Chains A and B, each alone.
Chain A
């Protein structure tokens, strides 16, 4: 994947794609003007890369790296990071601890490579000491993590980028577009023909009927376990880990897709639904959210 940006002109829309955030980022733009699409595509790519560079845990030169290597010292953060931290804190409270950006260290013992390597209970409890937003001191603009703790924006980074790119492009141009970062979507519409964007929901089995939805305005996100899991002794451990226990959630659906006004909301709701395990559907019904779940 060496290419930087690709523009495809379709009969009634233009498609821009570029690799970022460990997937292909796609923009569908309701125009037949390729220069406009290119302009918008470049803006989108710039913003996506900006967010990725700033909040990726794989880099050693950004604010996340500074926070994670602070060894118990307070770190002053900028406004955008502060907003994200506020958001993460609110989500932690609303979800009663199920959503926790300090739970990233669990990946040190859980490797979802479809092998049979499941960590031992001792390994898990040892790691629990280094997890939990309750142990964080967050008083804007200063963030203090206990030594050994880390923050990881992986659970919200992509959805955040989708919404930021969507809002940025909408500010620049008032036509309809669809932002799609590997299945996390945001649509702004309606299109010139009055309709929305046709989105196909991924099938588990090829024999399943293809579900299409028409999204005019709003976000769509999917949380699922299809591709990443461990199997041991006939038990499938999905990759959704409950930060309160350090163990995967049991009886979660195979996947949950939700629709909400923004991609962030859709993403949070689908993740939280997965974390509710067997109560995923009941939870979403109660939240009055449009969703599909596959079990």
Chain B
């Protein structure tokens, strides 16, 4: 159910998007607008949560496993 809802929302949003021209990417090009602004930070946090909780990942691939879960 959650999956269907998410897919529908995403599809609606995509179809309703305006095409953003290259010169309109000024804000999106700023470093703090990157989807992962600090890869080392993400890597530290992912490792901490992976070793203390049962879930992992989602964003992409981590670099290497560890013997902590």
CA distance A152 to B27 in the complex (A): 41
Which B residues lie within 8 Å of A259 (CB)?
A: 23
- Could you give, for residues 208-241 of chain A, a 1 whenever the CB lies within 8 Å of some chain B CB and a 0 otherwise? 0000000010100000000000000000000000
User: Does B21 lie within 8 Å of A290, measured CB to CB?
Assistant: yes
- From residue 2 to 28 of chain B, which have CB atoms closer than 8 A to chain A? 21-23, 26
The reply on A288 being an interface residue by CB < 8 A is: yes
- Chain A residues with CB under 8 Å of B22's CB are 288
How many residues in B have their beta carbons less than 8 Å from beta carbons of A? Answer: 4
Q: Which residues of B contact A288 (CB under 8 A)?
A: 21-22
Q: Report the minimal beta-carbon distance from B68 to chain A, rounded to whole angstroms.
A: 41
CB distance from A56 to the nearest CB of B (A): 33
Chain A: minimal CB distance from B25 (Å): 10
**A residues near B26, Cβ cutoff 8 Å:** 196, 216
User: A residues within 8 A CB of B21?
Assistant: 288, 290
Q: How far is the CB of A258 from chain B (nearest CB, A)?
A: 11
What is the minimal beta-carbon distance from A55 to any residue of chain B, in angstroms? Answer: 30
In the bound assembly, the distance between CA atoms of A216 and B21 in angstroms comes to 15
The interface residues of chain B lying within 8 Å CB-to-CB of A196 are: 26
The minimal Cβ–Cβ distance linking B10 to chain A, given in whole angstroms, is 26
Chain B residues in 8 Å Cβ range of A216: 26
CA distance A195 to B24 in the complex (A): 14
Shortest distance in angstroms between B28's beta carbon and chain A's nearest beta carbon?
A: 13
A267 to B25, CA, bound (A): 22
Closest beta carbon of chain B to A137's beta carbon, Å: 39
Separation of A259 and B26 alpha carbons in the complex (Å): 14
Q: In the complex, A216 Cα to B25 Cα: how many Å?
A: 11
A interface residues with partner B (beta carbon < 8 Å):
196, 216, 218, 259, 288, 290
8 tightest A-B CB contacts, nearest first: A290-B23, A216-B26, A259-B23, A290-B21, A288-B21, A218-B23, A196-B26, A288-B22
Residues of B within 8 A of A (CB): 21-23, 26
Could you list 8 A-B pairs, sorted by A, with CB under 8 Å?
A196-B26, A216-B26, A218-B23, A259-B23, A288-B21, A288-B22, A290-B21, A290-B23
